[in-house]
Copies of this chain bind each other. A is one copy, B any other.
Amino acid sequence: MKNKKRAITIQNVARAAGVSVSTVSRVLNGKADVASDTQDRIRAVIEKMGYTSNLAARSMRSHKKNLIGLVVPDIGLYSVEIMRGVNRAIAESKFDLLVYTTGDAQKNGAILHEQHYVSLLSNSVTDGVIIVASATAEFIADAPIVAVDPHIINPNYPSVQGMNYHGALEVMEYLIELGHRRIGFICGLAEIGSSQRRLQGYKDALVKAGIELDETLITPGDFTQKTAYKYARQLLALENRPTAIFAANDQSAFGVYQAAEEMGLSIPNDLSVVGFDNISEAKYLGLTTVDQFLSEMGYVAVQMLIKIITGEPLELEIHKMQTKLVKRTSCQRLIQAV
């Protein structure tokens, strides 16, 4: 290791420039009341020494850090799309970005970690934090928090929410328009709000179309391919099997494809399949709807948070996205692609 360069502190800079630390601090923070030649001298020294202020020390003293924290459950397709939007907004702002991850949403004690990380960031280093797909609804935080697509919606925190209900409605309208009357539904994790809203969209669309709800066509699920596979087989083995299956997410849709294939059904001739959140397919097919939507959530969240931090008024505490999740073309091409 050749890393024996001891970090340069404001002290070193001050000494080298022949001034006091407070003066250096002043130019660092752009205070006006420093003689311009002193200022130039100090800046030159900073440049030459390659000085970077100590984040920890700075954060501790001043409450203005110009840093936004982002806590994501993992680095997956979903989180990444949101991060993209976050980045875009960050790039447009004067804030920098710090991402904290547990690496695994399913990890034991994930909820504790979630809370821990939010506290960690918000109480010290950042001006505010965005939490993605939070399972928790309560946080102990010094700085403001914005939740993106939270599992449980807590009206006390500003949040950016997905279009789960309306997206599901749209998918159903599309399938019904194609002539389907018996449409299966594979649920997501029951305890998660977005799953519930998707299911509700499924049900309401049927009611709206005057199709009677058949509970045998609705199966449990947990957002995994494996479970969806199991229940898809079950659905497809029914005497009066569905002609279309709507899965609560893309992983589940894969499970359905797998089951259909194994049972010798051709898609989309024998069975139409639609998954919510078709992130990977959308990417392959060159569609950008879903990506843009997710990234838009991240983008909006940052904007909200910045408004809160800077004390600007917020029009809505809960910002409901209006972007459409599923484009007709997306469904169609997805079905044909598999």
Contacts and interface: CB of A to CB of B under 8 A. Distances in A.
Contacts of A54: 60, 123-124
Contact residues on A (Cβ < 8 Å of other chain), bracket: 35 or more
A144 B1 CA distance: 7
Contacts of A57: 56, 60, 124
A52 interface: yes
Nearest to A65: B56
27 contacts: A1-B158, A2-B156, A2-B157, A5-B140, A7-B119, A7-B140, A7-B142, A8-B140, A50-B115, A52-B116, A52-B119, A52-B123, A52-B140, A53-B120, A55-B56, A55-B124, A56-B57, A56-B125, A57-B124, A87-B103, A88-B103, A91-B103, A91-B104, A99-B100, A99-B101, A280-B283, A284-B284
Contacts of A120: 52-53, 55
B116 A91 contact: no
Contacts of A75: 80, 83-84, 87
Contact of A87 (B74, B98, B125, B140): B74
Q: How many copies are assembled?
A: 2
Interface of A: 1-3, 5-8, 50, 52-57, 59-60, 74-75, 80, 83-84, 87-88, 90-91, 96-104, 107, 115-117, 119-125, 140-145, 156-158, 280, 283-284, 308
Contacts of A60: 54, 56-57, 60
